[in-house]
Chains A and B, each alone.
Chain A
């Protein structure tokens, strides 16, 4: 392999693997922080035991998850310098700012308050302890905002100029970088997708426990109470977040049609400019010849997605590539991303994401309480709900079984959708690392040998694979165990003055 090509390929694989892995944990962290915070708020306000048990249970899974999110994030902070030093030199003036703000404003916030929350159950007054988890939730969202501002700048650079002396990007307007539409829509889309992910996670695990209770395998009614509340809460969030994801996704699509037409043409395998343009349902393409050999399409929909109008013109891959080649030099094929990955990545993202949204919508209806149920079908708060189709009609045995199973399965779907969404976003803008300004092949570290790069790629991939096995096993263990209903909140509300002498030898409420 040509050395320059090897440099780029290995660095791209490393960044792809570490980032996709990191982003398996991030959406769960962002949403579970808020979900735990809401459940704890419910407990502090009502004093009901089921909220306490739910808080502890989801909190435990949240902590197992955030540990991996934090440590895989460390690599991200240094990878730019290690593998992409020419990129770092070119964009540092602009790109470094949101990154440093993220560390200073968000990372400190979440890491400090998560420590207070984990260890503070018997040290902090209830309400201050509750404020800590809310701080963590705000910290995670802030962190997402800053890093997405940085990424959006690479997708659509604004607020900069090219320094005539050094030829590097130079920041001229930080406010534009932090508030451009690409950033705002991207943040909205990522946060709603994150909440869909966390909600589906909660729905899946709660379904597992309720289905066991339904079959009589689980007899602890307090556990069932906590899981039933969690299920309903999860379903509600999934529906709202799913709707938000769809709306923000549509908006983001329109922004992309305008800013990165190639990415959207690739997402649709639209080879030639058309008016009106169809939405592709299924396509098999011949990339070397630049056309689809098999195509199943719905006319006009793509025009609508792009411009809110069924007949407008949408530029195709071949024409955009020719225009870019004319502008930046080289062959048109240099400007075409991997069509197979972008086309199917886009479909898998929408398919998996919307499946869990629809599942949640159905779940919210079939598990509804009281109001639209005949009295004889209502179940107690500590019993699993009956799945009701209408006021008097219960789902039959076959559908009930499958509904609960789908409920369990759905927890993995948004994780797949998130990964493919990011793979689509990032691979759809190739060959550019900074759209229109810098190509990926010019961004790598020139002085890091291929051997060293392989070492980095192999080490991190192996380490992440081992950690993934450990993490999944731990999560499965605690998720299957369910809430520990023997656990009690601290007997008296701690004061900030610290404990009195009489309990100075009491064991800690939490210890590693």
Chain B
């Protein structure tokens, strides 16, 4: 296998890791308005991801950095081309991180309510916009012969990409609901399960439409296999949730995300950003990658450190494995 293909897979894996982990972070953020009924319940939700959200977000930075190192042209075209949506996402991620850390620092009700509102919107918008961005990457955008995106911001809001955005929004919210059911105890856990069923059905409808559209438009044999896995996993997640097997439900919703994102990358390969203007101007794994030496260096680094990261991040989840409920939330904001 060429190192370029290996790095295409590795970047797909980093994005899958990001959407798997930050997917439920976004979902939990959105559920602070859909599911939680009062401040105590909102705090339960926020604290299910408290120790881990920061580490989860680093998957995005690593995906960005890895793209810069392995496919500089992809990095340059993508982020200069999608300037405005990326700016909105960055603003959301900034405000969101600060919200988690600062919400509890003052005892004022207004202060806390404002940060809680911020958590909801800054979780919802990126969950939607990432889907729009990937919809456009797969569909192809107006790239000229100098590898520059020459369309406008409004061109990115086409029906296919918007459907992609709604799909990721629903999928992440469902993933978050299943995660909440797994991590909480008491009343909130049961309501999370009920809500997961509704969200799962909405997700199933949207995901089916989006993935089948993708398959028809740009699919191949491999992407069809991934599509089938994604659909089956979603059905399995719904079933497991229905019978109260929360661990299995979470596992399957994770597989759904992995297979759906995997499918997008499989239908993309060997392109990394197709051009709608001229097939010859498309960015591919071979015309946008770094030199063999750089790829070799980065391969060694990735092979050594990725398993290590998985190991200690996994350990973190084990340390904080206990369910939490309203009774675990300390009464007042401390000091």
Taking beta carbons and an 8 Å cutoff, which residues of A are in contact with B?
A: 60, 63-64, 67-68, 70-75, 77-78, 80-83, 85-86, 88-89, 91-97, 99-105, 107-108, 111-116, 118-120, 123-124, 163, 170-172, 174, 445-448, 452, 455-456, 459-460, 463, 467, 470, 474, 477-478, 481, 484, 487, 496, 498-499, 504-508, 510-512
CA distance A81 to B53 in the complex (A): 25
Report whether B319 and A123 are in contact in the complex, using a CB–CB cutoff of 8 Å: yes
Contact indicator B61/A77 (Cβ below 8 Å): yes
User: Taking the complex as formed, is B202 at the interface, i.e. its CB lies under 8 A from any CB of chain A?
Assistant: no
- Of B44-52, B158-166, B267-275, the one touching chain A: B44-52
12 A-B contacts, Cβ less than 8 Å apart? A80-B68, A81-B68, A92-B75, A96-B290, A104-B62, A115-B55, A170-B293, A445-B83, A447-B81, A447-B148, A474-B106, A478-B105
Nearest opposing residue in chain A for B335, CB measure: A484
Which residues of B are found within 8 Å of A60, using beta-carbon distances?
A: 335
C-alpha spacing A115/B83, complex, angstroms: 31
Size category, B interface: 35 or more
In the assembled complex, the Cα of A499 lies from the Cα of B60 at a distance in Å of: 33
Verify B312–A103 contact, CB threshold 8 A: no
Interface of A is mostly: helix
Given known contacts A81-B76, A455-B84, A67 and B101 CB-to-CB distance under 8 angstroms: yes
Whole-angstrom distance between the Cβ of B47 and the nearest chain A Cβ = 5
Quick check: B148 and A104 within 8 Å, CB to CB? no
Q: Which of A96, A97, A124 contacts B319 (CB 8 A)?
A: A124
- Inter-chain pairs besides A64-B102, A112-B316, 19 sampled, C-beta below 8 Å: A64-B101, A67-B101, A75-B90, A81-B68, A83-B80, A89-B76, A92-B76, A108-B58, A112-B52, A115-B55, A124-B319, A170-B293, A445-B76, A477-B106, A498-B321, A504-B322, A505-B328, A512-B43, A512-B47
Q: Nearest chain-B residue to A80 (Cβ)?
A: B68
Most chain B CB atoms below 10 A, which of A170, A484, A499: A170
Digitize B35-74: 1 where CB-to-A-CB distance is under 8 Å, 0 elsewhere: 0000000010011001111110110111011111111110
Cβ of B79 under 8 Å from chain A: yes
Contact A96 B98 (CB under 8 A): no
Q: Is B278 positioned at the interface, with any CB of A under 8 Å from its CB?
A: no
Nearest CB on A from B118, distance (A): 12
Nearest-CB residue, chain A, relative to B325: A505
Contacts of A498 in B (CB 8 A): 321-322
Q: How far is the CB of B320 from chain A (nearest CB, A)?
A: 7
Q: Report the 7 A-B pairs with minimum CB-CB distance, sorted nearest first.
A: A92-B72, A81-B79, A96-B69, A67-B101, A96-B68, A85-B76, A115-B51
A166 nearest CB across to chain B (Å)? 10
Q: Are A115 and B52 in contact (CB under 8 A)?
A: yes
* Contact code string B301-321 (vs A, CB < 8 Å = 1, else 0): 110011001001100100111
* CB proximity of A52 to chain B, nearest CB, Å: 14
Q: Is B150 an interface residue (CB 8 A)?
A: yes
Would you call the interface of chain B mostly helix, strand, loop, or mixed?
helix
**Contact between B148 and A105, CB atoms less than 8 A apart:** no
Q: Which B residue's beta carbon lies closest to that of A171?
A: B294
Does A99 lie within 8 Å of B68, measured CB to CB?
yes
Q: How far is the CA of A301 from the CA of B100 in the complex (A)?
A: 52
Determine whether the beta carbon of A78 is less than 8 Å from that of B101.
Answer: no
Give CA–CA (A254, B73) in the complex, Å.
37
* Bound Cα distance from A116 to B72, whole angstroms: 34
Interface of chain B residues 73 through 106 with chain A (CB within 8 A): 73, 75-81, 83-84, 86-87, 90-91, 93-95, 97-98, 100-106
Judging by beta carbons under 8 Å apart, are B50 and A119 in contact? Answer: yes
**How far apart are the CA atoms of A463 and B75 in the complex, in Å?**
25
Q: Is B62 within 8 A of A100, CB to CB?
A: yes
Q: Bound complex: CA of A111 vs CA of B75, how far in Å? A: 24
| In the complex, B297 has a CB within 8 A of chain A | yes
With beta carbons under 8 angstroms apart, the residue of B80, B306, B327, B335 that contacts A507 is B327
- A102 neighbours in B (Cβ, 8 Å): 65
B76 touches A506 (CB 8 A): no
* Cβ of A133 to closest chain B Cβ, rounded Å: 14
Q: How far is the CA of A507 from the CA of B69 in the complex (A)?
A: 45
Do residues B62 and A74 form an inter-chain contact, with CB atoms below 8 A? no
| A99: B residues at CB distance < 8 A | 65, 68-69
The complex places the Cα of A114 from the Cα of B56 at a distance, in Å, of: 12
B46 cross-chain contacts in A, Cβ below 8 A? 512
B249: Cβ under 8 A from any A Cβ: no
Closest CB in chain A relative to B313 CB, distance in Å: 6
- Please pick, from A77, A88, A97, A120, the residue contacting B298 in the complex, using a CB distance under 8 A: A97
CB distance from B125 to the nearest CB of A (A): 14
Partner among B47, B91, B291, B313 whose Cβ is within 8 Å of the Cβ of A112? B313
Q: How far is the CB of A96 from chain B (nearest CB, A)?
A: 3
Identify B72's interface contact among A96, A163, A445, A484, CB under 8 A: A96
Question: Given A67-B101, A116-B51, A96–B327 Cβ distance below 8 Å?
Answer: no
